[in-house]
Structure 1
Amino acid sequence: MQFETRSQPTPIDDIIENFSLLEEWDDRYRYVIELGRKLTPFPDEHRTDANKVQGCVSQVWLATTIEHRDGRPFLTFAGDSDAHIVRGLVAILIALLSGRSASEISGENPLALFERLGLGEHLTPQRSNGFRSMVARTRADATAALAEAV
């Protein structure tokens, strides 16, 4: 499954730096929403049950493309949500994990970044749980890619 890329996603280092520059949470919320608006449009044909993330109150879709380089699987993620803030969380997760090897993704801790950015204490428990579900989905895809590579 390949996705058209209209604009480059915001690099994770830029997201972290921008969060540190924004002192007010209203500004940070607006920034998260803006990140979601910058996501590459998610094709309707990929809004399937297989791509739907379970455990999210909002509707969230994540699609994974696996490419093998030097005998290692690399994963690219595309996603969307029907909720503006959640769409921004999808964008943050994609910025952190997309384009990395399955083993790197398995070793990454997106929840630590979520807490470092202060999202855990400023978002509703439902949105925090939804983010955890998205992380679990990316880890499961990475684990499956590693198992297939053996």
Structure 2
Amino acid sequence: MELSLSRLNRLANGSLGAIPAVGAVAYAVQASDDLPRFAACLALIGSAVISVRGYRLGVTCQHTTMVIRGYLRTRVIAREHVTQITSFPAVRWTTRKGRTRWTPIMALVMTARESPATRLQKDHATRKLRRWAAQ
């Protein structure tokens, strides 16, 4: 089961990296020394990574594992270790050694400025995720 949002919402998530990338390119073009250009190139690379990962935010639920793709990392959690899906939404889970962990699901976080349709879609996806975890 793939829980991702509409293309428009994914583009908005990706713009979090795309907008600074434009600024980095503009700065690199006007910079006169090598060090500022190098810094702008590093910022451009980081912004590109955030942009692509923002577009791909989501959750994939397989038979025995859950894959959560966030802005900075991808987390794979075994279904048997999931203890709760919180209202944030986030996944509470335990490691093999028994330590409790908390992993936010950034793709499903609701904000005040979202359209009602997007909020409904995120709420529906969170409910589906809770049903998957309860099985």
User: Larger relative contact order (C-alpha < 8 A, sep ≥ 6)?
Assistant: 1
Mark yes or no: TM-score above 0.5.
Answer: no
- Whose Rg is larger? 2
Provide the TM-score with structure 2 as the length reference. 0.30
Provide the TM-score with structure 1 as the length reference. 0.28
